[in-house]
Amino acid sequence: MVQKLQQTLRDSVVARWAVLILVASMMFFAYMMADILSPLEQLIELPFSEGGLFGWTSTNYGTFLMGEYIVNVLGFLLIAGYILDKKGVRFAGTMSASMMVIGAAVMMYALSDSFRSTAFHDWLGTWMTGMPATCKLSFAGFAIFGCGCEMAGTTVSRVLAKWFKGKEMALAMGIEMAIARLGVTATMLVIPRISNYYDHSIFAPVAFGTLLLLIGLINYLVFCVMDTKFDKQLVAVGEKTAEIDPTEEFHVSDLFAIFTNKMFWIVSMLCVLFYSGIFPFQKYAVRFLSETIMVNGEYLTRDAAADMFAFFPFLAMALTPFLGAFIDFKGKGATMLIGGSLIMLFCHLCFAFVLPLYPYKWLATTLIVILGVSFSLVPAALWPSVPKIIDEKVLGSAYCLIFWVQNIGLALVPLLIGWVIDKTQGFKVAMLIFAAFGLLALVCTFLLKVEDKRKGYGLELPNKK
């Protein structure tokens, strides 16, 4: 009887992996929406003189991309961390999923025919005339979506840390990341085809993405029902968590322990540098490939470039769960961080110098797949390492603070890259900027390993005991 009392939903293989699928599907749809305009960049930047409906520039597009992160940088992620630790994963996750749906709906309206015929559209066009009204309103919608998306990412990490505590945590986080990244592949393969089916529409793909986010919200509500039952079971077995025990309640003063943790800052800098070399590159990758790769003497089409970049997350998806399992049972997380940063540096240098000289499709595909390995190694080792260096009581805030630092880079880098492309009329300097991020990330990984060896956080040790 005692043994039965000690069993919770976390001890059920079916239950905890069902939770993984529910929250990972929400992030899959979020990743689709985050990159939904990437394969359509050339279409949305088509000048009015050539029949374009929107007439954005590369700088406009970069400004729009900045919208995903700007409110987070201005402080929302700090508030999100407080909400997550104070209110728990059910409240925070529902809030973030709802914000993603609302933000996507605003974007959908901004890119619709009906908006372009309104007085509101004309009024928006009278100020900051260098940015079309459609871009301004899309920026606002993307900002709301971005707040929800980043908050959802930290919440999902907290969910998996809670439901897989003492279990296959790194494996679970690895699989969640793999599922989420499949959203990038789905975007590259599906979105151009939806656009083409509806006569090169941009509205139709965004509407499709909005519908998927609504499904993600419903999935999270199903998880909330399971999590409520789980908390009741934790009370029955006497396990304390910040969500169900006032003695473990989060206080703002607890943040001092995070800010004074040297490892926290090293991890944060690694995070912002590494992801600044990945996510902004994704936003421009389709255009880069279509303006670089030659097939039978002609540049690659936009749709063909999108299909090629769809290979980016393939190897990462296949490797991430195995890498997570390896960290769970064997460790070596810090070493993986070094390897991933080194690979990113190598790939971006090849994009800058080698691919323009040898613009072959097979070479580009190979480099894209190899870059995907980097995108597997670093996150698989990085996120499960945070609970080793931060107290569980402030774990949600720690994740949000790391995301906040990361968002500073992710807000500024797309704007920088768009401006550089407009000024240089090419991608070489942009690729060198991405390579510089890889080099600096590599320096951070060595600092991380040295500090771990000095303080004994256990980043090289397995998670499973």
Asked whether the beta carbons of 387 and 158 are under 8 A apart, the reply is: no
Q: How confident is the model at residue 251 (pLDDT cuts 50, 70, 90)?
A: low
Q: How confident is the model at residue 120 (pLDDT cuts 50, 70, 90)?
A: very high
Q: How confident is the model at residue 125 (pLDDT cuts 50, 70, 90)?
A: confident
Of residues 93 and 256, more confidence is placed in 93
Q: How confident is the model at residue 387 (pLDDT cuts 50, 70, 90)?
A: confident
CA distance 374 to 278: 9
Total Cβ atoms within 10 A of residue 402: 27
Q: What backbone torsions phi and psi does residue 12 show, to the nearest 5 degrees? A: -90, 120
**Torsion over CA of 43, 45, 46 and 51, rounded to 10 degrees?**
90
Entry pTM: 0.80
Q: Look at the block and give the residue holding tokens 């070094």.
A: 338
pLDDT (tens digit per residue) in 159-177: 998 888 878 777 888 788 8
So what's the pLDDT on residue 289? 95
Token duo for residue 68: 């995903």
Asked whether the beta carbons of 203 and 113 are under 8 A apart, the reply is: yes
CA distance 127 to 121: 11
So what's the pLDDT on residue 1? 36
pLDDT (tens digit per residue) in 30-49: 999 999 999 999 899 999 88
Residues 6+ apart with CB under 8 A from 57: 45, 418, 422
What does the pLDDT average to over 273-289?
A: 93
Residues 6+ apart with CB under 8 A from 59: 130, 415, 418, 419, 422
Q: Considering the chain, what is the average pLDDT of its residues? A: 88
So what's the pLDDT on residue 337? 92
Q: 251 exposed, middle or buried (CB, 10 Å; 0-12, 13-18, 19+)? A: exposed
Domains of the chain: 14-455 (1.20.1250.20)
Q: Is the pLDDT of residue 133 over 90?
A: yes
So what's the pLDDT on residue 3? 45
| Collapsed DSSP state (helix, strand, coil) of residue 295 | strand
So what's the pLDDT on residue 31? 94
Q: Is the pLDDT of residue 409 over 50?
A: yes
Of residues 37 and 244, more confidence is placed in 37
Angle in degrees, CA 95, 30, 364, rounded to 5: 160
Pairing of strands 298-299, 294-295: antiparallel
What does the pLDDT average to over 83-108?
A: 94
| Collapsed DSSP state (helix, strand, coil) of residue 298 | strand
CA distance 80 to 151: 6
CA distance 416 to 436: 14
So what's the pLDDT on residue 2? 41
pLDDT (tens digit per residue) in 304-332: 999 999 888 777 777 777 877 788 788 88
| Collapsed DSSP state (helix, strand, coil) of residue 299 | strand
298: β partners: 295
Minimum mean pLDDT range among 137-146, 244-253, 264-273, 332-341: 244-253
Residues 6+ apart with CB under 8 A from 122: 133
